[in-house]
Amino acid sequence: MNPKRTPSSFITALLAGWASLQGLPAAAEPVRVPQTVSAQDVSPAILEAMRAQEELSEEQLLRRLSFEAWAPRIEQEMRQALGASFGGAWLNEDSTQLRVGVTSEEGAALVRRAGAEPRRVARSLAQLERVMAELDAHRRDAPPSVHSWYVDLPNNRVAVQVEDAHLLQSQAHAFIARSRGAVDGTIQVVASPGAPRLVYDVRGGDPFFVGGARCTVGFSVQGGFITAGHCGPAGATVTGYNGVVMGTIQASLFPGGDYAWVVTNSSWTPQPWVNKLNGSNAIVTGAQAAVVGASVCRAGPTTGWRCGTVTARNATVNYAQGSVHGLVRTNVCSEPGDSGGPWMSGSQAQGMTSGGSGNCTSGGQSYFQPVQPVLSAYGLILKTGTALTASDLGGWMQISP
């Protein structure tokens, strides 16, 4: 029968085994961080976003991602080894060190041997989570002035965000007082930056509504999106696919042209995407006009993702409501509800569905309003992204199919 191991003996054995796997001596020197990142560790989209937002060199970015990929493994080992004295783990401000909260000096020594930085704390993670559970149990009683609560590991507390931390309302105070953490100092009230709200993406190909009529988002622009002008007049309220108000039609032209600009509210975030209506998105990278004979595809909630070719440019169409000039003719079908939807050639935005003849059962042809005249007319900037390829990743990370 094996003798029962103490936490200290357990972590010693654990670190010795981990060090041997890494080719390191099982001594008290820090564990060395791996210097490679696999596709499972970081997605191409995250990598590209970090390249754009972080002022880091390729080497610094790789080092940071390597460290962040290593940290969860050590966190789990520390959680198991420290048991009830584990105070949580978090990265420092620039992701160069993993900090681990401990409630004893013995625990601090174990953390140092793992290559992390110990931080003495008054409360274990288990204690903080018990206070969270007490608040969660009464979440239905939380007044509107209480915006959120969460475990704040670096400060070893449960933070409760309220509308005004200096003028704590009686209802908010009563809600917080339900937990024992309000007495022993575990709970700390902090000012909220604002009431939380749901945020939705603006994406080409998604339906929207003006009154009782359904149309389709064309392309995202800074501050909103563009679509067909016949979808509604300037000043009309636009509602999203989910019944949430999106914003207002700022400007609209029809007939003559067939385009409109919708200004969205703060609940919606314009994205450089087109919904292909098959569970995936196409990334819009620009707006280079395709030549006659080029392949084009469009998205619409009525008939889905359809493809064909450009058969003519600068066409004039005589609708019953008046003529529209400057349209592009295609051999692709469309049906009511697809109006305003996006057309793409490769990753390039082409235009928004105006109208057509026939249908998608017997066949038909469609016309779209080109993108560039809309952008020029209203001084808009198209939202674009980057189509990632293996070469874009600098050669140091392979993308799995």
Reported as a single tens digit per residue, the pLDDT across 205-229 is: 999 999 989 999 999 999 999 999 9
| Fold matches, 125-191 and 200-378 | no
Q: In whole angstroms, what is the distance from residue 219 CA to residue 272 CA?
A: 7
Between these two residues, 32 and 245, which has the higher pLDDT value?
Answer: 245
Fold of 125-191: GMP Synthetase; Chain A, domain 3 (3.30.300)
Q: Which listed residue (147, 206, 258, 338) is catalytic?
A: 258
Annotated domain spans of the chain = 7-120, 125-191, 200-378
Reported as a single tens digit per residue, the pLDDT across 327-354 is: 999 999 999 989 999 999 999 999 999 9
DSSP helix/strand/coil, 32: coil
Tokens 């696919």 -> residue: 241
Lowest pLDDT segment from 5-14, 192-201, 270-279: 5-14
Q: What is the model's pTM?
A: 0.65
Fold of 200-378: Thrombin, subunit H (2.40.10)
**Residues in Cβ contact with 330 at an 8 Å cutoff, skipping those fewer than 6 apart:** 296, 308, 309, 310, 311, 343, 365, 366, 367, 368
Interval 41-68 mean pLDDT: 69
Active site residue 347: no
Q: With bands split at pLDDT 50, 70 and 90, how would you rate the model's confidence at 392? A: very low
Residue count (the chain): 401
Reported as a single tens digit per residue, the pLDDT across 281-314 is: 999 999 999 999 999 999 999 999 999 999 999 9
Instruction: Compute and round to an integer the Cα radius of gyration of the chain.
Output: 29
DSSP helix/strand/coil, 329: strand
Active site residue 258: yes
Q: Which listed residue (145, 147, 206, 230) is catalytic?
A: 230
Reported as a single tens digit per residue, the pLDDT across 119-161 is: 999 999 999 999 999 999 988 888 888 899 999 999 999 999 9
Give CA angle at 397 (42, 272), nearest 5°.
Answer: 60
DSSP helix/strand/coil, 312: strand
Q: Which listed residue (85, 339, 345, 354) is catalytic?
A: 339
Active site residue 338: no
Measured CA distances, 115 to 62, 111, 213, 267 (Å): 19, 7, 61, 43
